[in-house]
């Protein structure tokens, strides 16, 4: 079967296996995300402690992502991803058992969150760098990244809605257990792949020297530097949904776990639509699209600060999902298309650092603001600072004039 142009990455067998396994696994991951946030709020009632969980979960990315990028350029990627996915599966089962014991405490959630962060720190850059090898080169890479985003956000749409029902009726332990089982799909898919994702040929130096080479490349390549700068600003101030949406649901809209799941699903629904639009477009994104999508994401975050009804919250989150995924897919494609093969793991580790590694900073900042002044103020401040930062960076690059926005 030959897939149409908008789905052309699916013509590659290994990519079909990958995206199918990932869809099942990520539904479980989003179920766990909803259950974990709700469990923390039930145990503590603290926005600050919810932010600490985000810090623990993404803190390892802040500390070790550059090392993970050097590893990604040295190892067979398929086997490394199988190892990290197995570790994530075990983490989910541990959380399920702790909840089923009936004696779960806050630190029982905190320790597995840190373990999740360690495994994900290695998994993310390796998985991102593996995509180009699954589709046989750069020609189908933009479509593969867009379809990957659509798959990720389809899971975001389904997982939270299912988790809301499961948590409300049966408790968070079932969500954690189902997530653990979902990892079997991606582990089996990886086992049946033919592509090993072997590292690019070439001499290897000390790990520190290889990390430095990747950082120099990112600094000295204007298009890469611009994309990473905007992504850093948005990641810190705007993309804090794991902390902010639970607070919006519980403290502002006064809805239960099911309502929280629907809010997260609204974000995912918009993201799926945005990802499909990017996939059908099929071209390498201009820098102008990166900037416009970033500004839209920050602006809609400000709007959320004034939302007072559940329906309007779902509508704004859907629009935010569209803007967010157009921005993220454009950033990812720009970096992967620009990076040489022997540096791709390190470039994607910088992407992971900027996208997920700074999450502890954003989670801690927004959680602290929400704890002191409320979720509405945190949304307005986060979105406002994001807008200011993006505009300032755009003005600085426009004055430098070293890169066209097309």
* Domain boundaries defined on the chain: 5-198+206-400
Q: How many residues does this entry show for the chain?
A: 406
Listed in sequence order, the residues at least 6 apart from 82 whose beta carbon sits closer than 8 Å to its beta carbon are 187, 190, 191
Give the separation between CA 114 and CA 23, rounded to whole angstroms: 24
275 class by beta-carbon count within 10 Å (0-12 exposed, 13-18 middle, 19+ buried): buried
Provide the residue-wise pLDDT of the chain in tens; the chain has 406 residues.
678 777 888 889 999 999 999 989 999 998 998 899 889 988 888 878 887 887 788 788 888 888 888 888 888 899 999 999 999 999 999 999 999 988 888 988 999 999 998 999 899 888 888 888 888 777 788 888 878 877 877 777 788 778 888 888 888 999 999 999 999 999 999 999 988 888 776 556 788 888 888 889 888 888 888 899 999 999 999 988 878 888 888 888 888 878 888 888 888 788 878 877 877 776 667 788 889 999 999 999 999 998 889 999 999 999 998 998 889 888 888 888 788 877 888 888 888 888 877 877 887 888 888 888 888 999 999 999 999 999 988 887 777 665 555 5
The pTM of this model reads 0.77
Domain 5-198+206-400, CATH class in plain words: mainly alpha
What backbone torsions phi and psi does residue 316 show, to the nearest 5 degrees?
-65, -40
CA distances from 345 to 214, 341, 402 (A): 9, 8, 26
Q: Are 349 and 125 in contact (CB under 8 A)?
A: yes
Q: Are 215 and 350 in contact (CB under 8 A)?
A: yes
Indicate the Cα dihedral angle 39, 262, 264, 385, nearest 10°. -100
Give the separation between CA 300 and CA 396, rounded to whole angstroms: 24
264 Cα distance to chain centroid: 14
Q: In a 3-state reduction of DSSP, which class is residue 135?
A: coil
What backbone torsions phi and psi does residue 364 show, to the nearest 5 degrees?
-65, -45
Give the separation between CA 239 and CA 267, rounded to whole angstroms: 12
255: nearest Cα among 175, 317, 178: 317
């Amino acid at each position: 079967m030959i897939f149409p142009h908008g789905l052309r990455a699916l013509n590659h067998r290994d990519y079909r296996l990958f995206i199918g396994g990932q869809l099942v696994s990520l539904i479980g991951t989003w179920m766990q995300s909803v259950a974990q946030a709700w469990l923390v709020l039930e145990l503590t009632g603290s926005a600050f402690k919810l932010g600490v969980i985000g810090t623990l979960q993404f803190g390892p990315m802040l500390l070790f992502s550059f090392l993970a990028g050097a590893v990604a350029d040295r190892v067979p990627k398929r086997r490394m991803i199988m190892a990290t996915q197995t570790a994530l599966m075990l983490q989910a089962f541990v959380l399920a058992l702790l909840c089923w014991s009936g004696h779960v405490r806050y630190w029982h959630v905190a320790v597995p969150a840190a373990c999740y962060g360690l495994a994900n720190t290695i998994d993310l850059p390796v998985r991102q760098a593996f995509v180009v090898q699954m589709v046989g080169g750069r020609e189908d890479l933009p479509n593969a990244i867009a379809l990957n985003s659509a798959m990720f956000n389809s899971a975001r749409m389904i997982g939270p809605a299912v988790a809301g029902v499961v948590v409300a009726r049966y408790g968070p332990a079932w969500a954690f257990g189902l997530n653990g089982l979902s990892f079997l799909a991606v582990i089996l898919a990886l086992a049946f792949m033919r592509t090993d994702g072997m590292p690019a040929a070439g001499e290897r130096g000390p790990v520190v020297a290889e990390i430095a080479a990747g950082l120099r490349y990112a600094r000295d390549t204007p298009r890469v530097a611009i994309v990473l700068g905007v992504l850093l600003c948005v990641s810190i101030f705007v993309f804090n949904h794991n902390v902010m949406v639970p607070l919006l649901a519980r403290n502002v809209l006064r809805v239960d776990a099911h309502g929280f799941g629907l809010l997260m699903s609204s974000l995912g629904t918009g993201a799926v639509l945005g990802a499909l639009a990017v996939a059908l477009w099929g071209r390498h994104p201009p820098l102008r699209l990166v900037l416009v999508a970033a500004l839209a994401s920050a602006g809609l975050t400000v709007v959320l600060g004034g939302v007072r009804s559940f329906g309007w919250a779902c509508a704004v989150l859907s629009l935010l999902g569209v803007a967010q995924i157009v921005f993220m897919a454009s950033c990812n494609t720009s970096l992967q298309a620009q990076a040489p093969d022997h540096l791709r793991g390190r470039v994607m580790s910088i992407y992971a650092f900027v996208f997920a590694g700074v999450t502890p900073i954003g989670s801690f900042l927004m959680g602290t603001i929400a704890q002191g002044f409320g979720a509405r103020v945190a949304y307005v401040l986060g979105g406002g600072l994001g807008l200011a930062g993006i505009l300032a960076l755009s003005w600085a690059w426009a004055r430098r004039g070293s890169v066209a926005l097309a």
